[in-house]
Chain A
Amino acid sequence: MADQSTEPNGLEGIPSPEGTTNLIDTQYEIGEDNVEGSVGPFGFDIHNPVFMISGLAIMAFVFYTLALPDQANSLFGWLFSAVTTGFDWFFIASANIFVLFCLILIVTPWGNVRLGGTEATPDYSYIGWFAMLFAAGMGIGLMFYGVSEPMSHFSTSFGGTAAEGGVRTDWAPLNGAGGNEEAAIRLGMAATIFHWGLHPWAIYAIVALSLALFSYNKGLPLTIRSAFYPIFGDAVWGWVGHIIDTLAVFATLFGLATSLGFGATQANAGLNELFGVPIGSTTEVILISAITAVALISVLRGLDGGVKVLSEINMGLAFLLLIFVLLVGPTIYLLKLFFSSLGAYVQYFPALANPFGREDVNFSQGWTSFYWAWWISWSPFVGMFIARVSRGRTVREFIICVLLIPSMVCVLWMTVFGGTALHQVVNDGYTLAQDAALELKLFKMLDVMPLAGITSLVGILLVIVFFVTSSDSGSLVIDTITAGGKIDAPVPQRAFWCIFEGAVAIVLLLSAGGLQSLQSMVISTGLPFTVVLLVMCIAIGKGLSSERHSVKAADE
């Protein structure tokens, strides 16, 4: 009953803040614009403009890419390169601002603010929390880029620079390290860590923090538009908010669908390598259907029984694989590499983070700018999911745990997997991993280590389960946004999004270039969202200072 303005039993109105938090006084009732009803036997409770617009627009886009694949491909391809090459400075500069902002939050008194009020206690243990952070944030990326990215940067750096008409044509980061193996390894590791370290996690942390703050401390619905309340005031409940939320649904669903599609092709390649499973759309459709089915079960089991359990299993498996490679691989070399890579990261950081006047255009636009746009387009989804599980942490604890610790874990992961593969090339002269296609590099590296059959299988399993956790946490997020911030909407609704996502992935996979063009489009949404994130920084500042103020007032 969305239109019910008085509450039952004389319990009316919004209460005054308890002194522990500083609620925002808005007349908007959560669920005010929602429509409840049922389709056949299935009940629904949706935020109408957001649900309908995003649902219809998604279908329209899918039909467009299917009906006019060539046109769509060239349009989105153009959009993508225009965004990543024309605005590379904007992405790189903004990402630096996000990192800086997060680091400032750690050291200032703002870090004392507790999400959910001074008395709130954390909902999840550290282990469960970390597991979910990684599973939603980048688990799948770590599997695929763990070997391939350090290897790529090493190879291009080692190859040195090349120029044509004054423009660099090589893909080496910065000035490369032509012919110098030692320097190429350092530069390659620094560049990889740069892409997986502080910056992506700062991007996630900003979105997550603003949502958690405005939801748990300010009492606004858990949806992206709430973070804009300090800027737009009550207008966020109108069309401004509808557009923001719809964009978020869009980025999340297409981001997931394209990843699901690419993930299926990659898992297929792995299965082919290991068991000779044929490569083709039949296998891929079966894989997507299976992943969606497992995600559906997980979604129906809820946050604690589904996503959390799967995330923890995956974390455990990933940790075992990491330890295995660390111990069986060149252990001492890897440990040394870990510290020298950290040093290299610090050393090259200023140059890599420099937004202006870059000569390594291919690297800074094709890698860095691409990554930043990619992380940012995923940030509404990952950020909202992180927010959902972070109640009860202080801002300082939150930033340290979402920014610093995951960054260190990524450094370790990249060192162990990338380092082992580099060691194979440099010391053993084993170049199969170096030469293999992107999705096979991990398996080729594991190939020459003991128990290759088991570890490769664990690798494929990790890939698949990471997709399941992305798919189900994504469905929860989309469901919450399209239900106007309600987390208790009828269950069939989240099942709908989960299935819809799988269906979109299958349709796009079967069309020529469909996935490619949509991925370009998703990454293009990174541009407007960068502006959104910058505004969020301002909103967080405003929100935290009012929070500090009220806690101080309560203490006196």
Chain B
Amino acid sequence: MLWNYRRKVAKLYRTLSFGMSVCWIVPILFFLCLSSPVKAEDVIRFGASLSLTGRMSTEGRLVKDGYDFYVKHINALGGIPIKGKKYKVEIVYYDDESDPKTAVRLVEKLIVQDNIKFLLGPYSSTCTIPASSVSEKYKIPMVEANGASNPIFERGYKYIFATLNTIDQYFGSIVKMASEVNPRPKTIAFINENSLAPQLANDAAAREAKKLGIKVVYKEKYPTGTKDLSSMLAEIRDKRPDILLGAGYTEGMILLVKQAKEMGVKVKMFGLLLGPTLPGFVEDLRKDADYLLEPIQWSSNMAWKDDVFGYTAPEFARLFEQDFGYKPDYHPPQAAAALLVYHHALQKAGVLDPQKVRDAIAQTDIMTFYGPIRFNEQGMNIGKGMAVVQIQNGKPVVVYPKSVAEGSLIYPIPRSQ
């Protein structure tokens, strides 16, 4: 009996292993058939290392969906027309697990092994800074959409370009808007978390304010993870500034709004680096969130219209939701815009040579559903500025610049608040 049973098991094992090998061979053959006969020159391949898992995976996926939006829509039109011939588009993705070291390795792999000539950016400044050093080394252009820190562009690199506004431009629009309102504010106070991005934002805004003749009466930083800002705010209250700008991350920003009210800080204009448009912020702070300002990269009700597909920003938002099942924030359109930059540059260069395409990118001057794009020598987008939203009756309303505004700024903040 036992002998018989063993034979049966052996037979079953042989059958299974044969089955397994067939399982392997069939897809391998299938892929070989797929990949070899297609004429390689009819497809333009882009490469990107993205944070698809790990702590930044939520944002990483938003970026991937943005890139994929362009691919889907351009391939539906038959591809990018270059000199009368249409090229389909394909993106090779790798997952860097939200780790900058892995991103570096993968970008090198994309260039050396996969022979990618045109790179798209990863997610976050921490990944973009080292990844762009690799593309620079190999002289391969990288158009990124999600690294906003200035140090990316301050190294004299020639092959890095970004569609989004850098962190030092965040408060620029609010300060500029302040210089145009009536009565004109005379004094401004700054408070920020002691970390890189908030510091850059406030330093740049303070320079801008001085330039426009607004006096800086207070500028201090608080340590990360602080539980109390009340005494700093008491000091600010006693200096009576017209404007208060706070830069930090969510925890600090909520604390700032609550304690400013507790300490009786009464300013005419109150701006935060981030917060009001995050989930739960307005919902929890209720009317205390009213009149707060926040700089934003993009909003789906802006009046931009791109010249490849002819989509306006609202149309982009609608089509994107149709394709991916959720309403886009600013991440997907700025990612898609990176491919629009390549689209125009490839058409202009007329060849698939990375050097020539890089030169064409440098001369970019285009309009997209994400806004206008034009690069300075460092590769930063100076075509568009940040827009400003104000929370009015619990809803974010774009109030600046005038060309894309949905409503007018409420200034000064009504006294009862």
Question: Do chains A and B stick together as partners?
Answer: no
